[in-house]
Each structure stands twice: as C-alpha cells, then as structure tokens.
Amino acid sequence: MNIKINRETLLKPLSSVCGIIERRHTLPILSNLLLEAREEKLVLTATDLEMQISLSIFSNIGGELSTTISAKKLLDICRALQENTEINMTTSESRITVKAGKSKFNLQTLPAADYPVMSKVLTGSNTLIRISQRELKRLLRQVEFAMAQQDIRYYLNGLLFELTANRLNIVGTDGHRLSYTSTELNQNYDKQEVILPRKTIIELIKLLDDSDEQVLISLTNGQANFAFGAIELISKVIDGKFPDYSRVIPVGHQNSFSVNRITILLSMQRASILSNEKYRGIRMVLGNNSLKLISTNSEQEEAEEELEINYNKEPLDIGFNVTYMIDVLNNVGSDEVIFSFADANSSCLVTVPEDSNYKYVVMPMRI
C-alpha cells in the first residue's frame, strides 16, 4: 500500500485535526490518527472519544491506505520538511515508511480496524439546521468566553443550543455571568435543547472560517454533527438540564449609559492592575455624566480611572469582578457598548447597539 501527497496539501488539514488529540492517554491508539486513502481521496480522522473530526483531502494520491499513525509525530515530520516536498507513504505489516526527498522515517502503526470511530447516529429524530460559517463563528465567539471550565455542575461546561420557532439561541454561563445570543433561521423548528461540550465549541471556532459557505448541523439523539467544507465534526452532547436562563436576563433596567468599547476596555485594564489578584474586584461609581472605576488591592494600593459619559440618571456605586467585564468587552466586537443597571445589588446588563440579540448579564460583587 503506497500513497504520495504534497506536503502543502497535507500540512494544514493535518494540523486542524490534530488539535483534539490529547497528549496523555491510557489508550495508545487515541494518540494516533486514522488515515484512509481511496482513489482520489485521503480522509484524516482524529478522536478523543467525546468528539471526532474527519477531514477529506482530494488529491491525486495514487494508491490505497488504511492505517493509524502517531498524530504528533506525523505532524512534526510534516512541519519540519521543506516546502512543496512530495511525501511518500508505504505501509508494511505494523510499520509505515514516510519518505520525502532524501529524508526517510520509519514509524510504528496500529491496525485501522481498532480505531474507535464514532459513527453517525441514524436512529431517532434528526433536526437539520443550515447556517453560514461566518454567522456561526460570530455567534460562538460572542458567548464562548462565559462557559464554565471544569465546574462540577457539568452542564455548565458547554454552550446551550436552543431551537424555538425560527430562532437559534446560544447561551453560555459559569454561574456568575451569562452570555446570550440569537439568530434567525430560515425554517421553523419544534422547541429543542442540546448542550455542546466546551472542547467541541473551542475546536469549532478554530475550524470555522469567515466564508458564506453553509454549515449543516444535524442534531440527533445524544449527538451533534457539523459538516462544512471538507470537515465533518461529530460530538457527543452533555446530558443535563441547562438552567432556565430567561429568568436571569433582566428587563427594564433604567440606569443605562453608552460608552466607547475600546475606551472603557483600556480603562478597565489599567484599573485592574491594582485590583486584588484573587477577587479582582473593581468599583464602578456612576455620577452625573461621569463614570469612575476604582480598585484597591491587599497592599492598599489604589487605582482610579474617570470617563466622561452621557449619564443623568441615579448615582450608583457597584462592584464587579473586573475579569468578567474585560471578557465581554474583548469579545463583543462593536464600537459602542451599553451598560444598564437597576441598583447596587442587582445584575448588570451589557448590550451592543448594532446587535439587539446579544445580551450579557453579570452579577455584582459585594465589596
């Protein structure tokens, strides 16, 4: 069995799929990559048993192949080779020989039949959603940072995809702040909820590009399937009940002001230098047409930033974890942001003028 392929054709797809392979494993085959070549097509598959990425390369490879090989080593070899080298792979027994120019590598393989391939679930109901790559990537970016990480409330370690009528709502929260976004679909759906794991979301953002090409999402029993370009991503979903986010998003907060995103972001970053390194607390003091950001740390050092804003509602003194604010300002990607408050004990709502669907809620901190 023998194939040949250009380094440039292989390298980019290879690095895309290798991302999900964990470095430490108890199962040796999980550090491997499945290579399947048939006629004009080479399929690379990687899995961590929770999700799987398959990527097809269409090229004149001139042979057949079906084996698994260490993902990291193959990637390192390809990276180190000179540009535009022709790579030759020959398998024999439990070995594969990779030749490129004057370089030759002899690597171990494991049988392709042993590779734990996740197959598409075909039973049960199947919901199909179509959305452009650019739109999906934008939505995920808006909410991804609010996901919990290794929280024992396992259902928070991911994003909620909620279908209602012709809308797709995506929500992430870690119990302290919540990020919500929504988009219109071209079709009506029955109400349906799935939670996609954190790692899947992060890989998706990496793999999606800014094209108008369609992503076909199919949701079946316990599985979500994303197909776009040459990529097919299969992921398990988190089996759990996401909290009722609609109760958390406040309505009718009166005290609001609009501010340039970059201006307040830079002020926040400066003030955060002297905030307590563990609590990260910062006070937002609202007065007549002025916003002060005040922080102190455990060494009693203080920072104060003042911004001129258009504000003539009630004065307010409210504390926040500055990380939560910097997170949203870094990720919303608009020129202006709107902050709305009720009082010092109620949550704060952050919205952006150009996207009425986006909402970010953060709880204050008692300082």
Given the complex with another protein, which of 137 and 177 has the nearer CB atom? 177
Given the complex with another protein, which of 328 and 361 has the nearer CB atom? 361
Q: How far is the CB of 172 from another protein (least distance, A)?
A: 12
Name the nearest CA neighbour of 142 among 336, 327, 323.
327
Q: How far is CA 207 from CA 12, 24, 116, 171, 317, in A?
A: 11, 23, 22, 20, 43
Q: How far is the CB of 29 from another protein (least distance, A)?
A: 34
Given the complex with another protein, which of 178 and 265 has the nearer CB atom? 178
Name the nearest CA neighbour of 8 among 64, 41, 57.
57
Given the complex with another protein, which of 243 and 333 has the nearer CB atom? 243
Distance separating alpha carbons of residues 131 and 215, to the nearest angstrom: 5
Name the nearest CA neighbour of 105 among 71, 73, 82.
73
Given the complex with another protein, which of 109 and 323 has the nearer CB atom? 323
Distance separating alpha carbons of residues 357 and 254, to the nearest angstrom: 19
Q: How far is the CB of 321 from another protein (least distance, A)?
A: 7
Q: How far is the CB of 336 from another protein (least distance, A)?
A: 24
Q: How far is CA 332 from CA 164, 337, 359, in A?
A: 24, 9, 10
Given the complex with another protein, which of 43 and 271 has the nearer CB atom? 271
Distance separating alpha carbons of residues 22 and 364, to the nearest angstrom: 37
Footprint on this chain of another protein (rule: CB under 8 A): 152-153, 173, 175-178, 243, 248, 276, 278-279, 281, 298-300, 319, 321, 345, 347, 361-367
Give yes or no for a contact between 203 and 20, defined as CB atoms under 8 angstroms apart.
yes
Given the complex with another protein, which of 191 and 278 has the nearer CB atom? 278
Given the complex with another protein, which of 110 and 365 has the nearer CB atom? 365
Given the complex with another protein, which of 161 and 360 has the nearer CB atom? 360
Q: How far is the CB of 176 from another protein (least distance, A)?
A: 5
Q: How far is the CB of 345 from another protein (least distance, A)?
A: 8
Show Cβ contacts of residue 219 under 8 Å, excluding neighbours closer than 6 positions.
Answer: 126, 127, 129, 161, 192, 194, 225, 237
Distance separating alpha carbons of residues 181 and 352, to the nearest angstrom: 11
Given the complex with another protein, which of 4 and 176 has the nearer CB atom? 176
Cross-strand partners of 107: 96
Question: In sequence order, what DSSP letters do the residues of 1-23 get, joined into one string?
Answer: -EEEEEHHHHHHHHHHHHTT--S
Q: How far is the CB of 285 from another protein (least distance, A)?
A: 17
Q: How far is the CB of 303 from another protein (least distance, A)?
A: 15
Give yes or no for a contact between 109 and 92, defined as CB atoms under 8 angstroms apart.
no
Q: How far is the CB of 178 from another protein (least distance, A)?
A: 6
Burial class (CB in 10 A: 0-12, 13-18, 19+), 363: middle
Pair of tokens at residue 175? 């119990």
Give yes or no for a contact between 22 and 56, defined as CB atoms under 8 angstroms apart.
no
Q: How far is the CB of 332 from another protein (least distance, A)?
A: 18
